[in-house]
Structure 1
Amino acid sequence: MTKTRNFVLGISLGLAFCGATYAADAIKIGLPVGLSGANSVLAPSVVQSAELAVEKINAKGGVLGRKLTLEIADDGSGAQGAQRAYDSLIFQKKVDVIISMENSAARNAGLPIVNRGKVPMIYTSFYEGRSCSPWMYVNAWVPEQQVAPVVDHFMSDKNAKKFFLIGSDYAFGRGMLEFTRKYVKSKGGTVVGEEYLPMDGSDWTAVISQLRSAAPDALITSTVGGAPNVTLTKQLRAAGIKIPYGNLAVDEATAKTMGTDAEGIYISASYLSSLDNPANKQFLKAAKAKFGDKMQTPNELSEPVYEAIYAYAAAVEKAGATDGDKVVKALSSVSVEGPRGTIVMNKQHHAPLTMYLGRVKGDGSVEVINSFPNVDPGKQCPRLAD
């Protein structure tokens, strides 16, 4: 096994520097994110996590004596906007790294530009899996880590045998539900219906009608993060759908925007703001101190951005430079101790993660039902195996 170098968030980086005296040239972190479009519900928390990590690292003297700066670009929550954002960040802004919390359509559009520019990228959004590039690492979950806790709970505790699947019609929605369908069947269950709407779809009336007709025991959904999660859930509640409901794409921040409509949704996540560990308490305290009443709810789609910036900083320190090829080689052999525990992206550029099965309460917070330590991401990118 490759030996990892461990960095504790907010403590180990920059120990050689006692003040905020930096070399003249800053290290630029490119952050493409959906400031507009469906992901705009999530973007504020993502930006805050990035700002917090940069501020804390700079307060310790930066990285190799250089200050970190953020370059934020709106990807419009889609492919066309992502192409413009990546092109601007890599070839105009000349960023040293891309830290990306985006939907799969945006990622797929941006990745060829990353490959062409030969810039390291850490993708921080949970996704459908098997997106591979020598330049990209992933610190978020894939279906092999996320689906089983929900399906197994519904089968064992809710006696569910017939499942109905609803998704957004793009890579993530279809990829997640393809895996879910196969997993349900492998466990002896059946899928009695599977329906999709376009990414920007908002009228789920016909889909809910199909759901009623199929009379399933449980519902599992995989819609694009943000607005579609809200519209679908509200319409399900208005229609009086009361069967067990597992959402593979909702996060705490979005759940809070739903209000009482989110109550009872089951989720499987690698991060919850209620995690009771010193690193998470420190993270939440620092975020509250920096943003005050404007603090967004830290969530599964924002907290990994915080850890990704620390992982990049650790890789630069290990490499002794920001050269893309050197940093990429270092990324699989550094670890960070953060709110989610120890994160090492050494499994074919992906990371084993502790997963939590939770149920959303009426106030939008999540009650943890069970935990599953160090779940392996499975075979994602065999050609990138270390």
Structure 2
Amino acid sequence: MRRWWIWASLAAAVLAAVAGLFWLPPLLRRVEAPIVVGLVHSATGPLGGAESAMLEAEILALEEINESGGLLGRRLEWRVADGRSEPREFGREARRLVEEEKVAAIVGGLTSASREALMGAIGSADVLLIHAGLFEGMENSMSWFGLGPLPNQQAMPAVSWCVDALGARKFFLAGVRDVSSYAVHAVVRDQLKALGGEAVGEGFVGLDGSGAGELAAAMKASGADVAISTIVGDANAAFLGQFAAAGLTPEKLPIVCLRVSEDDLRRIPPEHAAGHYAAWAYFQSLGGEANRRFVERFRARHGAERTVGDPAASAYYGVKLWARAVEEAGSTRTVELLEHLPRQSVGMRDEVISVDRDMVHAWRPFRVGKIRRDGQIDEVWSLDRSIRPIAYPIFRPGSEWRAALEGWRSIGEREAGSPAPPPGEPPTPARPAAANGPIAR
């Protein structure tokens, strides 16, 4: 009897050991520290409204990942920081998240200046930046993951559409004093020369919309057929309001907005924006079951009245693509993720967002839409394929673009904290003529 008891005890011990080997790893993973992600966007200042939907879309993506079991058996947590529409504040908050919160990745930024500040703060830390905002190119994005439009993915096809669909030959370029506007305007001027068109005027406003009245007056006097606008954030309300106050209409001078999405339109009077155009990869009004479900989930989480535009959709899918790369790599280390990200793709509407191997940047569809009075945008034209990101526009050698970029950045450093010069007097980089900084006419 005693022998039977001994054998039974041994068998139970063996079974317990086997069960432990099977169940222990999941239990250990369950108690592992969470993966922490930093979300840095402007909650205050003139970019606060434009970045709010991006933050909300990122939180939605992170919540959905947790609902599906997290990553690598670990839950995701996130820390939200306010960049306050100031590049220096973006840098300070990113540095705090890296050093104190030990984040594995940072998602955030809208402008080129904020992206540069985030990268500078991350430095050599093993933290990946995911940026769905503006990127002018003219350098490779090999150390961070980008999803926003480069000039060849947005500005250049928009100009071609204006020439073909609107018969435009005379263009006015309106922007803010940010590297992205300087770069886009330079690319557009080069493209117009190649197409036989002309930039008949150029002007800039501050991020707070200062100088909008003078800009509208310059546009009215320019004789332009169409305007290309790279104005971003709350400055759009002031700009479009002054445009209308000057007696200009979409019929007299249509504007193709490269920085106005559905979420921006919530803060702009309908009569000031309706009839103008927007050029993006994504509009909320697009059909398709995948897009319908995405919009429903966004509204269920953040409010039935909320709208979602291209920057928010790009931010959402950026988080999802990062998560797929983490699962495939089995790691959150930046060097490994940069190898695995180019193999990732995700469906958006009836299309697929894929990541370019050479730039670690998303391929993007291209659409032109007409702004409605209810704040939605109706697609009027689209390209039948996604556009590969190209860092250096074909019009000049890469060395010239890099020199121009250095000059535009030095302008931003000199002007930090100073009032913007009036429209029509944009700063010129201290570079050779080939660098071709923005020139007023």
The TM-score, its normalising length taken from structure 2, stands at: 0.78
Moved over 6 A (4+): none
Q: Which of 97, 117, 124 lines up with 1:109 in the alignment? A: 117
Q: Which of 339, 354, 367 lines up with 1:356 in the alignment? A: 367
Residues in 2 aligned to 1:290 and 1:307: alpha-carbon distance in whole angstroms: 16
Residues in 2 aligned to 1:152 and 1:134: alpha-carbon distance in whole angstroms: 29
Partner of 2:96: 88
Asked if residue 331 in structure 1 is aligned to residue 341 in structure 2, the reply is yes
Q: Which of 134, 147, 150 lines up with 1:142 in the alignment? A: 150
What is the DSSP-based 3-state SS (H/G/I as helix, E as strand, rest coil) of the residue aligned with 1:314? helix
Partner of 2:241: 234
Partner of 1:267: 278
Deviation of the 1:339 alpha carbon: 4.2
What is the DSSP-based 3-state SS (H/G/I as helix, E as strand, rest coil) of the residue aligned with 1:207? helix
Asked if residue 209 in structure 1 is aligned to residue 221 in structure 2, the reply is no
- Amino acid across the alignment from 2:202: E
Q: Deviations over 1:240-281 (max 9, x none)?
A: 112121112111111232122111121110111112122111
What is the DSSP-based 3-state SS (H/G/I as helix, E as strand, rest coil) of the residue aligned with 1:160? coil
Q: Which of 58, 63, 82 lines up with 2:71 in the alignment? A: 63
- Amino acid across the alignment from 1:377: P
Partner of 1:11: none
Deviation of the 1:213 alpha carbon: 2.3
Residues in 2 aligned to 1:313 and 1:23: alpha-carbon distance in whole angstroms: 20
- Amino acid across the alignment from 1:344: S
Deviation of the 1:154 alpha carbon: 2.4
Partner of 2:292: 281
Residues in 1 aligned to 2:37 and 2:296: alpha-carbon distance in whole angstroms: 24
> Contact 1:101–1:301 at 8 Å: present in 2 too?
no
Partner of 1:4: none
Deviation of the 1:180 alpha carbon: 1.5
What is the DSSP-based 3-state SS (H/G/I as helix, E as strand, rest coil) of the residue aligned with 1:194? strand
> Contact 1:271–1:300 at 8 Å: present in 2 too?
yes
Q: Deviations over 1:276-295 (max 9, x none)?
A: 122111111212222333x5
Partner of 1:13: none
- Amino acid across the alignment from 1:104: S
- Amino acid across the alignment from 2:243: L
Q: Do the aligned partners of residues 32 and 222 (structure 1) sit closer, same or farther apart at CA in structure 2, a change above 3 Å counting?
A: same
What is the DSSP-based 3-state SS (H/G/I as helix, E as strand, rest coil) of the residue aligned with 2:47? helix
> Contact 1:139–1:343 at 8 Å: present in 2 too?
no
Q: Which moved more, 1:152-161 or 1:260-269?
A: 152-161
Residues in 2 aligned to 1:22 and 1:187: alpha-carbon distance in whole angstroms: 60
Q: Deviations over 1:79-113 (max 9, x none)?
A: 11111111111111110011123211111112122
Asked if residue 194 in structure 1 is aligned to residue 202 in structure 2, the reply is yes
What is the DSSP-based 3-state SS (H/G/I as helix, E as strand, rest coil) of the residue aligned with 1:285? helix
- Amino acid across the alignment from 2:285: S
> Contact 1:31–1:73 at 8 Å: present in 2 too?
yes
The answer to which structure has the higher helix fraction is: 2
Residues in 2 aligned to 1:322 and 1:235: alpha-carbon distance in whole angstroms: 48
Deviation of the 1:341 alpha carbon: 2.9
> Contact 1:270–1:340 at 8 Å: present in 2 too?
no
- Amino acid across the alignment from 1:376: R
- Amino acid across the alignment from 1:286: R
> Contact 1:23–1:67 at 8 Å: present in 2 too?
no
- Amino acid across the alignment from 1:187: L
> Where do 5+ consecutive residues of structure 2 fail to align?
1-25, 399-441
Q: Which moved more, 1:207-216 or 1:196-205?
A: 196-205
> Residues 151-170 of structure 1: matches in 2 within 5 Å?
151-170=159-178
Residues in 1 aligned to 2:31 and 2:47: alpha-carbon distance in whole angstroms: 36
> Contact 1:32–1:102 at 8 Å: present in 2 too?
no
Residues in 2 aligned to 1:105 and 1:121: alpha-carbon distance in whole angstroms: 14
Q: Which of 243, 249, 255 lines up with 1:245 in the alignment? A: 255
Q: Which moved more, 1:126-135 or 1:152-161?
A: 126-135
Residues in 1 aligned to 2:312 and 2:68: alpha-carbon distance in whole angstroms: 22
Residues in 2 aligned to 1:249 and 1:222: alpha-carbon distance in whole angstroms: 6
Deviation of the 1:29 alpha carbon: 1.1
Q: Deviations over 1:106-137 (max 9, x none)?
A: 11112122232231111111332235454201
Q: Deviations over 1:50-71 (max 9, x none)?
A: 1211111111111111111111
Q: Which of 362, 385, 389 lines up with 1:377 in the alignment? A: 389
What is the DSSP-based 3-state SS (H/G/I as helix, E as strand, rest coil) of the residue aligned with 1:117? coil
Deviation of the 1:340 alpha carbon: 7.3
Q: Do the aligned partners of residues 340 and 247 (structure 1) sit closer, same or farther apart at CA in structure 2, a change above 3 Å counting?
A: farther
Deviation of the 1:338 alpha carbon: 3.2
What is the DSSP-based 3-state SS (H/G/I as helix, E as strand, rest coil) of the residue aligned with 1:331? helix
- Amino acid across the alignment from 1:316: V
Deviation of the 1:235 alpha carbon: 0.7
How many pairs does the alignment contain? 363
> Contact 1:350–1:380 at 8 Å: present in 2 too?
no
The TM-score, its normalising length taken from structure 1, stands at: 0.88
- What is the aligned-residue RMSD (CA, Å)? 2.2
